Amino acid sequence: MIFCSDIKTNETASCKWMDSSLHGAAFYGKIRKAEMKTLIFNGSPRKKGETAYMIKTLQEKLGGEFKVVDAYRARISPCIDCRWCFEHAGCAVQDEWQEILSFIEECDHIVIASPVYFEEVTGMLLAVLSRLQTYFSARYLRKEEPVPKKKTGAVLLAAGSIGPREKAESTAEMLLRQMSCDSLGTVYVNRTDKVPVREREDIIQEIEELAEKLR
């Protein structure tokens, strides 16, 4: 499995809920009190880019346990419109998406993070999340609720220039709703080609405030 990475080190990690501590430790020793679990979809191709920095900052401020799905490196095919999910729960395509479905059901928060390309989230992220068709089919064709556990979430967007955010934000919020997740807000940063996120105290503050809402 390669889709789940520890964003703090940019190293491949096993697909367990990862602790947010600097050591990136999973569960060990005595059983601990359950912590918040946050699933993050990372739509950036850059391992150390602005989106990755925003994700890392949110992790540090939010705490709890995380899984990060790297859209550009995950072994997840786009939806092939086979229509198997019109009549069955889950997905007929056997790849890493099968495990992500269980993560979606289990987690407390979901975050969609992406660069803005041509006023939209990245194409690779859209390809991965096209597999949410199984949830659409459940609700509107099979009349079932595929994700009974309601969640809260957020959107992180980074743009190199000064283009509009509305289309990308609307897409991300729509995708969150497919996962029974209500967005608590968006942090959007632009002109990162000129000033990186790490030098934007206002954006760091916005991420901290967003983390507080999610707690």
For residue range 69-97, what is the model confidence (pLDDT) as tens digits?
999 999 999 999 999 999 999 999 999 99
Q: What pLDDT score does 16 carry?
A: 55
Q: What residue segments make up the domains of the chain, in order of their start?
A: 5-214
Q: What pLDDT score does 99 carry?
A: 95
CATH number of 5-214: 3.40.50.360
Residue 128 clears pLDDT 90, i.e. is over it: yes
Q: What pLDDT score does 6 carry?
A: 45
Residue 12 clears pLDDT 80, i.e. is over it: no
Q: What is the pLDDT of residues 28-84, one digit of tens each?
A: 233 334 689 999 999 999 999 999 999 999 999 999 999 999 999 999 999 999 999
Task: Write down the pTM of the prediction.
Answer: 0.87
Confidence of residue 163 (pLDDT cuts 50, 70, 90): confident
Calculate what percentage of the chain has a pLDDT beyond 90: 82
Q: What's the 3-state SS for the chain? A: CCCEEECCCCEECCCCCEECCCCCCCCCCCCCCCCCEEEEEECCCCCCCHHHHHHHHHHHHHCCEEEEEECCCCCCCCCCCCCHHHCCCCCCCCCCHHHHHHHHHHCCEEEEEEECECCECCHHHHHHHHHHHHHHHHHHCCCCCCCCCCEEEEEEEECCCCCCCHHHHHHHHHHHHHCCEEEEEEEEECCCCCCCHHHCHHHHHHHHHHHHHHC
Average pLDDT for 138-147? 96
What is the Cα–Cα distance from 148 to 164, expressed in whole angstroms? 34
Q: Which two tokens stand for residue 61?
A: 């401020």
The residues that bridge with 40 in the sheet, in sequence order, are: 68, 111
Across all residues in the chain, what is the average pLDDT?
A: 88
Average pLDDT for 97-108? 96
